[in-house]
Structure 1
Amino acid sequence: MQTQVAIIGAGPAGLLLSHLLHLRGISSVVVERRSRDYVEQRVRAGVLEQGTVDMLVESGVGSRLLKEGLRHEGIELRYGDRAHRVAFEDLVPGRAITVYGQQEVVKDLIAARLEAGGDIRFGVQDVALHGIDGERPYVTFGGERLDCEVIAGCDGFHGISRPSVPEGVLTAYEREYPFAWLGVLARVEPSADELIYAFTERGFALHSMRSPTVSRFYLQVPVGTRVEEWPDERIWSELRTRLETVEGFTLATGEIFERGLTPMRSFVVEPMQYGRLYLAGDAAHIVPPTGAKGMNLAVADVRVLDRALGAFFEDGSTALLNGYSEACLKRVWRAQHFSWWMTTLLHTFDSDDAYGRRLQLSHLDYVASSRAAATTLAENYVGLPW
């Protein structure tokens, strides 16, 4: 088999890259070790930046997003007995976020690629990359060989793309946090119109949503927590304790139909390329979910890579490809800082650290009282312009 670009991983990054390359007339094959059903049902992030929404719409895969996505022009910071709304429409006019599950984006992209005759190989085994330091790399899987000119590693943190780079080439920057998120989906109408980020002495909580009838909740829990330790009754009790801190607010409850644990880590590798291999999305960087940047960073990577590959296949120019990593990392490190800042602002790190909690409350008061501080939060949250 032959193609111009071999794409490893059928997540948002790989599928969007394949779609954008198709619009340029560039061929690609997407290789994914999981089944299509697994990929389409995998619950992940649900907050899309303004730029991500614009890109999906402009590329022709945003019709369902515009119809079903929930556009939000603000978020609420809740701490003590206070509730402060960060108003995007006032602070960053014309820019907002849209709540639309990552799995829904994946479904839309798969449908678009298959409708256009795209080649997506689901459920493949024994994937390996070869010759990435030369001009004719290739991929093997399941006894087959796929020759290509470029490989895009979009297969996530645990994929095979990054480990295929020779040892010592990449530099990793990491930070692990001493807590995790317990996330649940419940069949209940959201109790608020916008996301609520709650800071309490018992730990962080987030009230979010997926649709007018499905709500998404997160609780800060210790590292090593097991899902089995949290039956429904305990989850609802803790959510009420952390969220019902403002007069007049009552948390609606319902059937919890999915739950899982999300480790909290920050991770970046530099550079994001080696030879003819280009890493994108979680294969190159991870952010804690507090800032809602994971999938949006993957889309930003793909935007840069698509343009670089367009120039390369149009006239052989390598300037944009050579500068791919540098261009992406500027945005990656900005998002890393914002995600770290949101995480340290809103989570309890040490139950005995009264000094640290006072600093957090002081900073929350500053965001609530300073237009400049609130604007910084707002412009980073909705996504910096391309």
Structure 2
Amino acid sequence: MSNTENSPVIGGFSDGIDDVEEFVCVNEKESTMTNERIHQLALKDAEKVMSCRDNSVKSYILQADALFLLERYDLARDAVIAGLQLDPLCTHLQALLLILERTCSGLVCGRNREKPERSDEFDCTLCLKLLYEPITTPCGHSFCRSCLFQSMDRSNKCPLCRTVLFITPRTCAVSVTLNNIIQKNFPEEFAERKSENDSLVKFSVDLMPLFVMDAVLPCEKLPLNIFEPRYRLMVTLDSTTGHIAEFACEVEITECEPLPDGRFYIEVEGRRRFRILRSWDQDGYRVAEVEWIRDIKPPEGSREKSDLQELTNNAAEYAQMWMMRAKEAARQDRRRLAELLNVEAMMPTKEDPERFSFWLTTLTRRRPSERLELLRLKDAKERIGRGLIYLRQEEQGCRLQ
């Protein structure tokens, strides 16, 4: 779900925030870049955001966080105070100001200072525990990552001030400053929270919220109109029986546009297949216990492996030629041409026959029963064969017309 709004001013500001958040998500894992260099780049990103929208509390939060990590405490305090003048109730800035005051006083008194006292300023207002993977919302409130998005299952508003939030787990980064402060000053309690969170994640790793619809295939992009933002994953509906199908596909929301009537226009992309072991109603929607499905692959170095790769390469060449002819035939049909370009952009690497075989089958429109059968298959060679048959059938049909 993209972090966008309808207003042109807000839209420009959101673009700046997206850049910062993507930087944090990517570079937190880079071991070759020093922390100081990361923080310097984060400060530049904060300055970029401020140039997009000077009166935003979010920009002061980003600037203060970066300055604190660079140990420029006086400048960080100035940024915090400037932000609090815009929003005196911003809990993130309040907590950072408290830490700055204690840090500065500790530097004056020497290094033999006591650790900061544990206060409720570091507690999540939803679970009432120490913040774990804290996220600071654009309106300035901090929550545990899991607590916030569980709350957003019911409503896409801030749990405290009710500001509408256009954020998702994919686009929203953990507050690096607040997270570092908590880990450094409350290591034992943080370790307990981490252990608790890990146990919950492992317990629920194979549980899926379900949204019943027609079959979606991996490597397929699909536009949807949906009201409730809690639905993240899609499953299939067997049109012949009216029951939830046994096999389904996980999808990821890649684009989200809020509409004036409260609905969301979203785009989703098919990711992984799974088999539904059992399902039940929970908190107003369907939940399932699932197991992930992968192809049965030929052994490395075997003749079957080389034959599959050769078939994939040949199919890719044919698909590209077919795509060129299809785009040429659709020159006067803008809608069809846009569909073809979107499908072409989803083409995976030929070195992954499993994903490529699914992409190949998305080039033509298939019936729900055919899609379900493709999800069941665990043989990429057979799927590629079917995909080539589908392409030839459609091409022949066009020629007959």
**Same fold by TM-score greater than 0.5:** no
More helix by share: 2
- The one of the two structures with greater contact order (alpha-carbon pairs below 8 A, sep at least 6) is 1
The TM-score normalised by the length of structure 1 is 0.22
- TM-score, normalised by the number of residues in structure 2: 0.22
Structure with the larger strand share: 1
